Structures are given as structure tokens and as C-alpha cells.
């Protein structure tokens, strides 16, 4: 069952989006596998390790923070790697950042140390499923976005050197939820 905080954050996120990014978030919000992973991340984090929230509320806060950050950067004319490298549009940047933010802590279901790598491993099938749904037959875009999303998940703790503004956004957005 979703908590009131989770539902409130989802409403805020949905209001900020339109188009394909809105479709992506709706899919993720309603995806049972993602919900189970996020819920279990909290079980491990809070009940077993006595840490703070690493579950659905936290991941939605990171999504919200990421959306605000990329909107601010976009307003002042900063172009993200997806755009600069002519892979896609700002909408594609939003989608990559959304997916990485939404999944960044699912590795907590396995282990705390190196949860970024475990999360990337768990996320591969989910990312591919989401991208197939959103981008159909555009194989090149799906392959590249999968890499950028994975970099965002792996790089969110600052333990791995990252090389895209998209991944940097996840790192900062995660750090802002303290």
C-alpha cells in the first residue's frame, strides 16, 4: 500500500510533466516490480540495517529534485549530454534522469556496500522494458539511453567517476534529500 507521502510526491511529479516523460512516470508509478523493489529497499535499509529511508518516498523525492534541477539548468541554457551529443532532445534527457532517479536505490535490496552496482544489475531488465515501451524500434536511442541511465544509477553515491550531466544530476538530487 502506498503511503500518503508517496502519493503526494507522485501528484507533484505528475503535475510537472507532459508527453513521453509523463507516460514514463505513469508506467513506473504503476509498475509492480519497481514498487516491490522500492518497498524491499526500505525493509533492508530501515528494519535490517537501521538506516534512513531508501524506498519509494526517498526515490520519488530524488525524482522531484532531479526534475527541478534539470528544469533550472535548461532555463539558463545548459544542454545535457543527450542533447549535446545529438542523441535526443531535452525530453529524452528528462526520461533518462527520471528512470535513473526512480531506480537509483533498488540495489539496497541486496547490499549497502556497492548497492549502486547491484542496483544497475537489477535495473537492466526494467530499463529495457521501459525503453521498449517508450521508444519502440529506435534501437540506437534505447542502447544509448540505457547506458546513461545506468551511469546515473552507478554514479549516484559519488564512488564512481561519472561523465555526463545527467548522471551528475542524480548524484546532486540524491544528496539533496537529507
Ordered per-residue pLDDT tens for the chain, 178 residues: 889 999 999 999 999 999 999 999 999 999 999 999 999 998 988 888 778 778 899 999 999 999 999 999 999 999 999 999 999 999 999 999 999 999 999 999 888 888 999 999 999 999 999 999 999 999 999 999 999 999 999 999 999 999 999 999 999 999 998 6
The whole-number pLDDT of residue 111 equals 81
Handedness of CA 50, 51, 56, 57 (dihedral sign): positive
**CA-to-CA distance for 31 and 41, rounded, in angstroms?**
16
The whole-number pLDDT of residue 178 equals 66
**Which of 1.10.1060, 3.40.50, 1.10.3210, 1.10.20 would CATH assign to domain 19-175?**
1.10.3210
How many other CB atoms sit within 10 Å of the CB of residue 76?
6
Amino acid at each position: 500500500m502506498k503511503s500518503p507521502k508517496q502519493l503526494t510526491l507522485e501528484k507533484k511529479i505528475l503535475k510537472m510533466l507532459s508527453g513521453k516523460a509523463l507516460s514514463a512516470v505513469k508506467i513506473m508509478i504503476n509498475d509492480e516490480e519497481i514498487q516491490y523493489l522500492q518497498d524491499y529497499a526500505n525493509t533492508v535499509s530501515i528494519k535490517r540495517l537501521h538506516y534512513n529511508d531508501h524506498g519509494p518516498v526517498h526515490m520519488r523525492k530524488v525524482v522531484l529534485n532531479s526534475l527541478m534541477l534539470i528544469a533550472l539548468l535548461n532555463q539558463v541554457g545548459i544542454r545535457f549530454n543527450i542533447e549535446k551529443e545529438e542523441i535526443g532532445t531535452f525530453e529524452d534527457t528528462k526520461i533518462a534522469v527520471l528512470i535513473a532517479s526512480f531506480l537509483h536505490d533498488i540495489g539496497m535490496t541486496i547490499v549497502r556496500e556497492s548497492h549502486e552496482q547491484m542496483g544497475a544489475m537489477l535495473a537492466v531488465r526494467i530499463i529495457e522494458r521501459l525503453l521498449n515501451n517508450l521508444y519502440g524500434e529506435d534501437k540506437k536511442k534505447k542502447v544509448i539511453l540505457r547506458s546513461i541511465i545506468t551511469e546515473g544509477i552507478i554514479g549516484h553515491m559519488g564512488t564512481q567517476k561519472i561523465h555526463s550531466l545527467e548522471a551528475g544530476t542524480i548524484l546532486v538530487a540524491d544528496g539533496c534529500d537529507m
